[in-house]
Amino acid sequence: MTDVRTFRRGDDLDAFLSLYERVFGRARDAAWFDWKYASGPAVSAPRIVVAVSDGTDGAESGDLVGARPFLPMQLAVGDRRVVAVQPVDAMVHPEHRRQGVFTAMTEWALAAFEASDAALCFNFPNEAAAAGNRRLGWRKVQERASFYRFVDPARVAESADLRPLATAAASAVAPAVSGYNAMRRAMAPDAGAVTVRRERTVPVADLAARYRARPPDGIHVVRDAAFWEHSTANPDWRYETYLADDDESALLLGRSTRPGHAVARVTDVLPPGAGRSRAALAALLHRALRDHDDAALVVAPPLAGATDLLADLGFLCDRDPPLSYATTPTNHFVRTLTDEWTIDGVDVGDAANWTLTFVEQDTN
């Protein structure tokens, strides 16, 4: 049996990091822990819930056998700003699975959040976790698409977790992947006269100002200076920014810092929703792809009204063959914490009411 309680840094940090490495296969340190879990908007409920053995299940009494972190985020919903929490990195020790540990931690956390100032949970569970989410009151909002542009499938295949993607891509564009991408670029709309400036850092004040000038209508994370400072401190990615001279449009691009991962990610675009300047977006994408032509793979989120532009630039959608044969859906789930599914007249369970890129999605 296990007891569920709030994470206590002094007692639990080393055990948490050890369990993380056991479950996810990656060693982490205290600095990474503080960046990911200790920052973000304040919320009057525990950010991490843990399960500890009571000594009757073969483990030592007090051993940490599970953890359920939650990331607080400030969401814009209609004209309101609300605190939401995103469940991430759920961990149960392999010897304690199928014993109700995940459910016990989640139910304990939900009770705490329902008594707090948080309005909803939203997350992107894999298929294994999705069933558990449904049983605990989550609703599936949509299956999100991602877009992949392969430059060197062979280099992508060197990474074990990306190898299925590379194999599927090879059936579509290899052995002439460079020729395929060149053909698609030639078909793409001209970037036109939009001037793009490359910043090798993240100008948080500039990005925050561009967001304020054209916030999207859909539900989205608030992109203020504090958000940019926190999210772009992710040690797994190195970020740079592309700014269009229309004073509204921008693109944030990340490069993976993991050894052997020659991956670039279009992390965000501004404005993130429909109604943006198509010419500016085309210019931003053209410039970013040209500057990062050494990346073996470039990944982009769904960009409203720009699916054809991504296709013209050589991106393949993971919801379509052949990539759909090698990928699983990215599920977007939501759970209200107030028994109300409508906030400021906006149904949070309706996919049409959300505007998401990669900045709302925990992909770390």
Helix (H) or strand (E) holding 166: helix 163-173
- What is the three-state SS of 131-158? HHHHHCCCEEEEEECCEEEECCHHHHHC
Q: In 3D, which of 246, 264, 243 has the Cα closest to residue 255?
A: 264
CB 328 within 8 A of CB 292: no
CATH architecture group of domain 147-325: 3-Layer(aba) Sandwich (3.40)
**pTM of the predicted model, to two decimals?**
0.90
Question: What pLDDT score was predicted for residue 1?
Answer: 67
Question: What pLDDT score was predicted for residue 326?
Answer: 81
- What is the three-state SS of 174-231? CCCHHHHHHHHHHHCCCCCCCCEEEECCCCHHHHHHHHHHCCCCCEEECCCHHHHHHH
> Looking at beta carbons, which pairs linking 95-98 to residues 24 or more positions away fall under 8 Å?
95/58, 95/59, 95/65, 96/2, 96/51, 96/53, 96/57, 96/59, 96/65, 96/66
Fold for domain 2-142+332-353? Aminopeptidase (3.40.630)
Find the largest Cα–Cα distance for the chain: 70
Q: In 3D, which of 330, 362, 310, 325 has the Cα closest to residue 148?
A: 310
Q: How many whole angstroms from its chain centre is CA 343?
A: 23
- Sign of the CA dihedral running 66, 75, 147, 213: negative
Which 8-state DSSP code applies to residue 354?
Answer: B
- The contacts of residue 72 (CB under 8 Å, 6+ apart) are 40, 41, 42, 43, 47, 83, 84, 85, 86, 118
In the chain, ranges of CATH 3.40.630.30 domains: 2-142+332-353, 147-325
- Rounded distance between C-alpha atoms, residue 109 and residue 148, angstroms: 36
What token pair was written down for 27?
């060693």
Per-residue pLDDT of the chain (364 residues; tens, 9 = 90+): 689 999 999 999 999 999 999 999 999 999 999 999 987 777 888 899 999 987 665 556 679 999 999 999 999 999 999 999 999 999 999 999 989 999 999 999 999 999 999 999 999 988 878 888 999 999 999 999 999 999 887 777 766 566 666 666 655 555 455 555 655 555 555 556 799 999 999 999 999 999 999 999 899 999 999 999 999 999 999 999 999 999 999 999 999 998 878 899 999 999 988 778 899 999 999 999 999 999 999 999 999 889 999 999 999 999 998 888 888 888 999 999 999 999 999 999 999 999 999 999 875 4
Which 8-state DSSP code applies to residue 324?
Answer: G
- Rounded distance between C-alpha atoms, residue 235 and residue 23, angstroms: 20
